[in-house]
Structures are given as structure tokens and as C-alpha cells.
Chain A
Amino acid sequence: MFALRRVARPTTVLRAPTLRNTTRNINQKVEEVLKDGPYKINKAGAEAYEAEYVATEKHAEHTSKLWRKISIYICTPVILATCVNTYFVEAAHAEHREHLSHLSEEDFPPEYEFQNVRTKNFFWGDGDKTLFWNPAVNRHIRSD
């Protein structure tokens, strides 16, 4: 009995005026869309799009030429000049590293407590050296 009543209910809902009106409204909308064609031609919109396209292209050509000139005539010499400066700075550093690499553990500058902190092993290598470890300048000297 109970099950039969449950089946009967949806049919009453379908006959209800609200749902019937909604279905009719959707049908009307679809017919309207199909009458005009689903993809209406928007001439004003198309013209505005094209105008923007042409303007962008024209503007872009000028901007591209400007940044090309900046890249070639400003960036290249500036990079080269900085390279020269960096070469001399790094050559001095390399000389310093060369000197440090020959120092024994006793002669190496002493370190403070906050340096070379190890609370547990690293999960790579021997567990003691950080990534990018350079034995010439990075030493882990244990005092014990």
C-alpha cells in the first residue's frame, strides 16, 4: 500500500501547474533561439573586436621594435660590463678559496655556536654535509 502511494506521487507533481509552466517556458525559449539562429551575428561587436585587433597589432609593432633596440643596444653592453666587474671580484674570491683550502683544521677561523648546527643527520650523502657543500670554504670541525 505504502509503496503504491509513493509511485503515484510523481504523477501528481507532473500535473502540477508550476512545472507545466516551466516546461512550456523552456520550450518557448528554445523556439525563440532557434528562430534567430543560435549564433546571432553581432555586427557592432565584431567591428569593435576588429578595431581593437588592428590597433593592438599596430601598437605592438612599435613596442617590439623599441624593446628590441633596448635589448641589443643597452642590455648587451651592460651585461658585458657587469661580466668584467664580476670576473675580477670572483677571481679575488677564488684566490681566497685557494688559500683557505690549504689551511689545516686548527688554522681555520673559529666558529660561533650558532654556526654548523646539526640536530640530526641530513637524509643525503654522509648525513653531515649540506647540499652545495664546498670543502674549501665549508668545514665542520668538531671540537670534542
Chain B
Amino acid sequence: MNLTLKKFQVHPFHLVAPSPWPILVSFSVMSIMLTLVFNMHGFMHNNYWVVFSAIVAIMTMALWFRDIISEATYLGDHTLAVRKGLNIGFILFVVSELFFFIAIFWAFFHSAMAPTIELGGVWPPVGIEAIGPSELPLLNTILLLCSGATLTWSHHALLGGNRFNTLLGLILTIALAVTFMICQYMEYSNAPFTISDGIFGSVFYFGTGFHGLHIIIGIIMLGVSLWRIYTYQLTNNHHVGYETSILYYHFVDVVWLFLYIVFYWWGT
């Protein structure tokens, strides 16, 4: 009876095989956290351990994603039911990200709506030259909005089976996102205030810094999607990785709109 059962999979689910990556990722991420805390508490010669844990975490993630790509592309484990599960999982992840950014905005509003007496009772605080909404952030907003447009162009070209337009739209999206990061770098390195300039500096770099980090992650996700489309791993009716990357990128895009309105416009 068991022999007969093993010949057929009479359900659409993917029963994953034992894998070393979950426990390795857990320990390397914990190691990054611990070594960073040691660094911030002044432990000497500790940078090597931070870099080492980061390398282990990144390598483990790469190998884990390689396994998932093999399961999806070459082993055919990602049936419609599995894809549905992956999508729901990713949506839950984006919801957790949403609440992470809500916490940042909470910190901003908490400090900006009732500025303390030490800041002069005003926002932006006295002596702080804030960056206004008609300066570099305006260009950044336009760049991100346009990258959203080119991404939709690429996504629907893929759905319609148009390879050239898919690749062109995606390359343009990545180029616009990289330009955004360059502009953010220029803004940071010319800003008249730093992260240690009271609550204004802290909350400004907290919000824009984490957003920038998320744009970098979005660029990596779109870059992997570009490679997978280029090598025919993703097709017009099977591209979970690209769809989740698109969802993530649009989410980060919308977070920027709120950052622009709140941090650069209302907050100055």
C-alpha cells in the first residue's frame, strides 16, 4: 500500500525537504545583532565579527533562495496552491513592514506635534536648517513615481508575453531606483544637520535611512527578477518572484510619498 501511495502525489502542496538554511539564517542574524550591540558598547576589534556574521547571513540567504529557485523552476514544486500560499506569506510580510514604518511615523509625530522646550517649542527645532519639499526631495519623488510607471509597463508587458518591453521597462525601473539612491546619498552628504542633532536628526535619518535601505532591497529583488526573466526562468503565467518584487517596490514607493509629505513638507 505504501509503495502505491509513494508513486502519486494526490494533493497540490509542496512538502519541503529537510534543509540547513533556516537554523543557519537564525544564528547568523542573531550573530549580526549581538556583534553590532558589542560594537555600540565599545568592544575593541569587533568589526571583523560584524562583517563575518553579515557574510554568513548573506551567503546563507543566497543558498536558500537558490534552493527555492531550483524547487520552483526545475522541480516544478510550485503548483497553483503553493503559489497562493507564497503570495499570502509575502503579503503578511509587507503588512509587518507597514507596521514597522507606522512606528517610525509615530516617533516623528510624537516629537513634531508637541516639540519640547529644549527645541525652542517649534518644529523644525531652532538652529536646524531643514531640507524643503521643493529641493532634491522633489526630484526624488518624481523619480520614484516614474519608476512605478515603468514597472507597471514592464509587468503588463510580461503578462502579455512581450519580452523586449518587459526587459526594457524593468531596466529603466532599476536605473531610476539607482538614481534615487544616488540623489539620497548627495542629500545626506550635504545635509547641514546630522543624526546626532537631537530628535530632529535622529527621526529624520531613522525614517529616510530605513526607507533608503528598503529601496536597496527593492533594487536587489528587481535585479534578481530581471536576471530570472532574462534566463527564461519566469514566464508570462508563472512569475511569483517578480510579482512579490513588484508589490514590495510599490509599497516602498508609497512609503516615500508619505515620507515626502510628512518629513519634508508638513515637517518643515
Where the two chains meet, the residues of A that have a C-beta atom closer than 8 Å to any C-beta of B are 26-27, 30, 33-34, 38-39, 53, 56-61, 63-64, 67-68, 70-71, 74-75, 78-79, 82-83, 85-86, 89-90, 93, 97, 109-118, 120-121, 123, 130-134, 137-138
A56 touches B153 (CB 8 A): no
**Chain A binding surface, main DSSP class:** helix
Do A83 and B139 contact each other (CB < 8 Å), given the known contacts A116-B196, A132-B191? yes
User: What is the minimal beta-carbon distance from A4 to any residue of chain B, in angstroms?
Assistant: 30
Nearest A residue to B8, CB-CB: A38
Find chain B residues with CB under 8 A from A112 CB.
118, 120, 125-127, 198
Where the two chains meet, the residues of B that have a C-beta atom closer than 8 Å to any C-beta of A are 1, 4-5, 8-10, 39-40, 42, 46-47, 118-120, 125-128, 134-136, 138-139, 142-143, 145-146, 149-150, 152-153, 155-162, 165, 169, 172, 185-186, 188-199, 236-237
User: What is the minimal beta-carbon distance from A42 to any residue of chain B, in angstroms?
Assistant: 12
Find chain A residues with CB under 8 A from B153 CB.
64, 67-68, 70-71
User: What is the minimal beta-carbon distance from B124 to any residue of chain A, in angstroms?
Assistant: 12
Nearest A residue to B80, CB-CB: A49
Find chain B residues with CB under 8 A from A70 CB.
149, 153
Find chain A residues with CB under 8 A from B42 CB.
120-121, 123
User: What is the minimal beta-carbon distance from B139 to any residue of chain A, in angstroms?
Assistant: 4
The 4 nearest A-B residue pairs measured at CB: A60-B159, A114-B198, A64-B156, A60-B160
| A-B CB contact pairs (8 Å), 14 listed | A38-B8, A57-B159, A60-B159, A64-B162, A68-B153, A68-B165, A75-B150, A78-B142, A79-B143, A83-B139, A89-B136, A137-B190, A137-B192, A138-B192
| A121-B42 Cα distance, complex, nearest whole Å | 8
Do A130 and B190 contact each other (CB < 8 Å), given the known contacts A60-B156, A61-B160, A89-B135? no
Find chain A residues with CB under 8 A from B136 CB.
86, 89-90
A82 touches B196 (CB 8 A): no
Q: Give the total number of A-B pairs whose CB atoms are below 8 A apart.
A: 143
B135 touches A64 (CB 8 A): no
Find chain B residues with CB under 8 A from A121 CB.
42
| A20-B47 Cα distance, complex, nearest whole Å | 64
B156 touches A113 (CB 8 A): no
Find chain A residues with CB under 8 A from B146 CB.
71, 75, 78-79
A27 touches B195 (CB 8 A): no
Find chain A residues with CB under 8 A from B193 CB.
115, 138
A71 touches B190 (CB 8 A): no
Checking B9, B138, B191, B197 against A82 with a beta-carbon cut-off of 8 angstroms, the contacting residue is: B138
A71 touches B197 (CB 8 A): no
Find chain A residues with CB under 8 A from B196 CB.
115-118, 130
User: What is the minimal beta-carbon distance from B80 to any residue of chain A, in angstroms?
Assistant: 9
User: What is the minimal beta-carbon distance from A23 to any residue of chain B, in angstroms?
Assistant: 8
User: What is the minimal beta-carbon distance from A21 to any residue of chain B, in angstroms?
Assistant: 15
- Apart from A89-B134, A89-B136, 5 more pairs, CB < 8 Å: A30-B1, A33-B10, A57-B160, A57-B161, A117-B197
| A87-B144 Cα distance, complex, nearest whole Å | 18
| A122-B134 Cα distance, complex, nearest whole Å | 33
| A85-B137 Cα distance, complex, nearest whole Å | 12
Find chain A residues with CB under 8 A from B128 CB.
115
Find chain A residues with CB under 8 A from B47 CB.
123
| A130-B189 Cα distance, complex, nearest whole Å | 10
A67 touches B159 (CB 8 A): no
Find chain A residues with CB under 8 A from B142 CB.
78-79, 82
User: What is the minimal beta-carbon distance from A76 to any residue of chain B, in angstroms?
Assistant: 8
User: What is the minimal beta-carbon distance from B250 to any residue of chain A, in angstroms?
Assistant: 13
Nearest A residue to B200, CB-CB: A114
User: What is the minimal beta-carbon distance from A134 to any residue of chain B, in angstroms?
Assistant: 6
Find chain A residues with CB under 8 A from B5 CB.
30
